[in-house]
Structure 1
Amino acid sequence: MMINESLDDFINNASWNGTEDNQSLTKQDTYALPLTIFSLALSVLGLLGNGIVIWFLCVKIKRNSFTIYILNLAVADFSFLLGLLVWMMYTFCYLNGLSIPAIEQSYLALIIGLLYNFGFNASIYLLMVIALERYLAALYPFWYQFQRPTNLSPYLCTVFWLLSLLVTGLENFICMGAAQYQDPGSENCTYVYFFTSALYLTVVPIMVLSSVTLVAVFWKKRWHHAKPYIVIVISVMVFMLSVIPARILGLLLYFKVLQTDDFLVEFFFVTSLCSAFNCSANPYIYMAVGRWGKQKIEEGSVKHVLEKVFKEATENQNMT
């Protein structure tokens, strides 16, 4: 669901009590403020983690085919979280009685929604291609080391950024307004949902099969340098647990399996939190996995831990 749809529905359904100086939400809307604050906190943590990864990969750590993907994934997650942070700041102000004119609100929703959806879509596609490449590196190390095109990583990243741009444009300019959930009969919007759902049905099985295969390879070969693969498996598991249920819920709402009027605003908060968790988790997964086996935390350990994980990605492509 696009971000600008949620605000329209929230504003239309929110109720206010109290005096001019002391406004408060009615009982049915009391969940909104704490969830907004929690989303803000999660977004800040995610921006901090992804910002650290971007900084080290751009400045401190030598790049390889694996880190190019990780850098692009961190940028995508950062873009999503930045859009969510700004939107939740606006929601927090609104819940406390501050607002901006409707026209400015509409432009703000459009711009942030584009950033929000663009980053999220790119994140999904990049995670899929990372999992697939690790699968190929594990099962076909000779091909991966000697026959894999040298510039494949930047080319694939460009392709998936362009695909994200296409999907985001379709979602934001063809399916517009909360009315799509109240009357999902628009043929164009339905076609968009079929198209994006088909993409998910392609992406998710690739992620799952690649991750399951990697787990099987770990068990059989018992590699000493398996951290990059463990990172990808955990990242895919986080994606599956946090994003897929919300995506299914969105389809149930769109096709009227669930009552729209009762769930639309709640759906926005649920999907925002789940997506924020997914996009915030990766940097902390890298750091946690990188510290496995270390006896103590060293000075400058963030660089050391990240470098260790990403260096092992190159070392592993020589293993059979």
Structure 2
Amino acid sequence: MGSTANCPHVLENATLEPNSYGSQEHKVICTFSIIIFSVTFLLGTSGNGLVIWCTTLKMKKTVIVVWLLNLAVNDFLFTLFLPFTIATTALNRHWTFGRYMCKLNATLFNLNLFVSVLQLTIIGIERCISVIFPMWFKNHRTPRLASFVVVAVWILAFLFSSPYFIFRDTLSIDNKTIHCDYKFDGDNSRSAITVSRGSALFITRFILGFLIPFTIIVLCYVVTALHIQKKLIVKATKPLKIIIAVIVSFFVCWFPYQVFVLLSLSNMYTNDKHIKRVVNIGYSLTKSLTYINSCINPILYAFVGRTFKKDFWRSIQQVFENAFMEEATKADFRSETKSSNAF
């Protein structure tokens, strides 16, 4: 697509006034984005790394642990590539990492969305089945089956994300800088093909990556709550607080962005600079919010889930204890060595 309006990522199908890249407003948004991305990278890689370590080595493999491990792996992979986005933002959106990394970077953003929302949908369906068919659920709910479901989630997410790998590409802006952007119809950013393909892609993402999954999730939890109330088995089948917290945080982080993506499509049909400016700013800020979601889950695991919190902090304590014991052992060894050398 042609010149676009936001930092650090392209505002789908919205145009930028020629002098906007040097504006004070643009610099403030870029600075804000760099801070958000940097914090997300530090917390996301370390936090999700700890969750992966804890769930794979320190916790009993249960279905819930498999679900949380999948979410952690997904967020860890996404945040691991954030330095590319940070560098590009600092360079005023100039892309220096080549065509393949351009495609991969955009694909990972959408892959993170689809894996997360599909996994949360699966958890919602599982909670519903657990209260409606408790005996069947007890006999068939195994970590092995959960692992197969996780594989299916990733395959489906890859299929949903493939268009972003196809249409994302590097292109020259004003024959000077290389940007990583969507290219729907060659270099023609104003053709009917570009408009129709761009609109179809982002509306489809809203439907598949947000509207349908969250409709299913809400319905599942409504049915679950009604069934629990009817059977008076609140204590035995009460949904996990940690899962509800993860779903709420995902909704809060992603819903505003989805709204502004749809609003950005209107920028193709209006010449009102004020409307474009509001949409561009809103898009940039809400997209930064989606990145925060990739580092917030470990915080929820550590402070919301009772069982996970207990195992998590116990594992962290063991890490520090082992580290201090190792250092103490090394110090004692060095001391003994010096004493023996003295004779």
TM-score range, shorter chain: 0.7 to 0.9
Report 1:134-213 matches (<5 A): 134-148=127-141, 151-174=144-167, 177=181, 183=190, 185-186=192-193, 187-199=196-208, 200-213=210-223
Question: Does 2:307 correspond to 1:289?
Answer: no
Q: What is the CA–CA distance in structure 2 between the aligned matches of 1:158 and 1:203, rounded to whole Å?
A: 18
Amino acid corresponding to residue 124 of structure 2 in structure 1? A
SS at match of 1:243: helix
Amino acid corresponding to residue 205 of structure 1 in structure 2? T
Q: What is the CA–CA distance in structure 2 between the aligned matches of 1:117 and 1:111, rounded to whole Å?
A: 10
Q: Cα deviations across residues 30-65 of structure 1 (Å, max 9, x unaligned)?
A: 232133213311332122221111111122212122
Shift of 1:105: 5.2
Shift of 1:86: 3.2
Q: Cα deviations across residues 260-311 of structure 1 (Å, max 9, x unaligned)?
A: 842565355323322122222222112112359xxxx989724399xxxxxx
Kept after mapping to 1: 8 A contact 2:47/2:295 = yes
CA RMSD of aligned residues (A): 3.9
Shift of 1:185: 4.0
Q: What is the CA–CA distance in structure 1 between the aligned matches of 2:87 and 2:247, rounded to whole Å?
A: 29
TM-score normalized with structure 1 length:
0.73
Which of 217, 237, 242 is equivalent to 2:248? 237
Which of 104, 107, 111 is equivalent to 2:104? 111
Report 1:86-125 matches (<5 A): 86-92=84-90, 94=91, 104=97, 106-125=99-118
Amino acid corresponding to residue 202 of structure 1 in structure 2? I
SS at match of 2:10: helix
2:233 is matched with: 221
Amino acid corresponding to residue 229 of structure 1 in structure 2? L
Q: What is the CA–CA distance in structure 2 between the aligned matches of 1:66 and 1:211, rounded to whole Å?
A: 17
TM-score normalized with structure 2 length:
0.68
Shift of 1:144: 0.6
Q: What is the CA–CA distance in structure 2 between the aligned matches of 1:302 and 1:268, rounded to whole Å?
A: 40
Q: Cα deviations across residues 222-280 of structure 1 (Å, max 9, x unaligned)?
A: 41785x61111111111222212211220121244886842565355323322122222
Percent sequence identity over aligned pairs: 20
Q: What is the CA–CA distance in structure 1 between the aligned matches of 2:191 and 2:56, rounded to whole Å?
A: 44
SS at match of 1:62: coil
Shift of 1:66: 2.1
Q: What is the CA–CA distance in structure 2 between the aligned matches of 1:52 and 1:122, rounded to whole Å?
A: 20
Q: Cα deviations across residues 61-115 of structure 1 (Å, max 9, x unaligned)?
A: 12122222211111112222223343124323x25xxx86x56455443232222
Kept after mapping to 2: 8 A contact 1:57/1:67 = yes
Which of 82-91 and 158-167 deviates more? 82-91
Answer with 1 or 2: which has the greater Rg: 2
Structure 2 stretches lacking a partner, 5+ long: 1-5, 170-180, 318-343
Amino acid corresponding to residue 235 of structure 1 in structure 2? V
2:294 is matched with: 279
Which of 75-84 and 264-273 deviates more? 264-273
Structure 1 stretches lacking a partner, 5+ long: 17-24, 306-320
1:53 is matched with: 51
Amino acid corresponding to residue 299 of structure 2 in structure 1? Y
Q: What is the CA–CA distance in structure 2 between the aligned matches of 1:299 and 1:63, rounded to whole Å?
A: 13
Which of 260, 264, 288 is equivalent to 1:249? 260
Q: What is the CA–CA distance in structure 1 between the aligned matches of 2:21 and 2:69, rounded to whole Å?
A: 43
2:79 is matched with: 81
> Relative to 1, partners in 2 of residues 1:282 and 1:216: Cα closer, same or farther, differing over 3 Å?
farther
